[in-house]
Amino acid sequence: MSLFVTWLVAGLSVMGTAWLLPGVHVTDFSAALWAALAIGLANAVVRPLMVLLTLPVTLLTLGLFLLVINGLMIELADAMISGFRVDGLLWAMVTSLVFSSTSSLLGTLLLGPDED
């Protein structure tokens, strides 16, 4: 049940991000849910490989290149989902910041704090 609620929270975060940022466009809530799933899969499968391959650049920029990698994961979701569109890499990088912030905030409000 928690995985389903987490997916719904991520979908709400995508909708909230599209509402806040003029460079992000979502047609409806189902597209937001699919975009949240695509972003989650990209972060789970592709991102670790990208982080490993770009480790020297990431170390050279003191970790700031991770913003570019996060933006590329948003762009990958944009390419996979037809109802989700981001207007460029800069908007994708800003989207990754806003999406992670709203997802954390909504997750804490709706699910409660993590008890690790």
Pair 74, 92: CB distance under 8 Å:
yes
Report residue 34 as tokens.
């699919």
* Per-domain boundaries in the chain: 2-111
> Given a cut of 60, is residue 116 above it in pLDDT?
no
Summarize pLDDT for 54-109 with one digit per residue, the tens.
999 999 999 999 999 999 999 999 999 999 999 999 999 999 999 999 998 888 88
Give the pLDDT of residue 6.
87
Output 106 or 22, whichever has higher pLDDT: 22
Dump pLDDT digits (tens) for 25-48.
999 999 999 999 999 999 999 999
> Which residues touch 99 (CB under 8 Å, ≥6 apart)?
13, 14, 17, 39, 74
- At 1, the pLDDT band (50, 70, 90 cuts) reads low
What per-residue confidence (pLDDT) applies to 106?
85
Give the confidence band of 114 by pLDDT, cuts at 50, 70, 90.
low
